[in-house]
Amino acid sequence: RFGGFDRLPETFRHGGTGGGVVVANHTAGMDPMLAQTGIRRLIRWMMWADMMAPALDFAWKAGQVLPVRHGQEDSTTLRQAVRHVKEGGIIGLFPEGSIVRPPGEIRPFQPGVGLLARLTRAPVLVLWIHGTPYADTAWGSLARTSRAVGELVDVLDLSKEKDPAVATAMLRDAIARRSGWPRNDEPMVELSAVAENRAD
């Protein structure tokens, strides 16, 4: 079910126009589909390239997923995302970087989310996802019944926030306050580990 989606701004409604950014906590592999079902405008998700299984290339292409990589290639993806929003599209991010384990915590947000909000100057729709089934794999959640909820937390205007780190913290704080979940300050994704995985 969807909580508060009757209050979605026109930008994030079916048939709406204008660019925007969707930010949510990450609980399960079904999260992108849950958000997409509620919003009903195409959301181009940003996703770590290492997590994009080649066997599902057809899905990544159909959803126009933007692969995030470490280093210069990551800057290229950021520019693509900013351009997409400024051209009237929607970009989605799970800034914790990975499905949170154990569940029921709020992990640190990757700093790029604040930079994206600053560069696009677009409204940022903040969602709290909960009630999804816990599974050992990202796709395991799709095979289980659940009472999944996508809940509208807020729509933030971060266009005047000059410090991307402050914008990132504001987004994390919004979800942490609504959820009441404890904050775990250990990142889910270390950039150095991502770089090592790519080298392998």
What share of the chain in percent tops pLDDT 70? Answer: 90
Nearest to 159 by CA among 108, 126, 186, 122: 122
Q: What are phi and psi of 53, to 5 degrees?
A: -60, 130
pLDDT digits (tens, 9 = 90+) for 78-107: 999 999 999 999 999 999 999 999 999 999
Running DSSP on this structure, what letter comes out for residue 10? G
Lowest mean pLDDT segment, chosen from 18-22, 177-181, 185-189: 185-189
- Distance from C-alpha of 23 to C-alpha of 46, rounded to nearest angstrom: 11
User: What is the number of other CB atoms lying within 10 angstroms of the CB of residue 26?
Assistant: 20
* pLDDT (0 to 100) of residue 72: 53
Mean pLDDT rounded to a whole number for the chain: 88
Q: Is residue 82 within 8 Å of 120, Cβ to Cβ?
A: yes
* pLDDT (0 to 100) of residue 71: 59
* pLDDT (0 to 100) of residue 74: 72
Lowest mean pLDDT segment, chosen from 51-60, 132-141, 169-178: 132-141
- Distance from first CA to last CA of the chain, Å, rounded? 41
Flag whether pLDDT at 174 surpasses 60.
yes
Q: pTM for the whole thing? A: 0.89
54 confidence band (pLDDT: 50, 70, 90): confident
* pLDDT (0 to 100) of residue 178: 97
3-class DSSP assignment, residue 7: helix
195 confidence band (pLDDT: 50, 70, 90): very low
**Which class for 30: exposed (0-12), middle (13-18), buried (19 or more C-beta within 10 A)?**
buried
**Which class for 51: exposed (0-12), middle (13-18), buried (19 or more C-beta within 10 A)?**
middle
Running DSSP on this structure, what letter comes out for residue 106? B
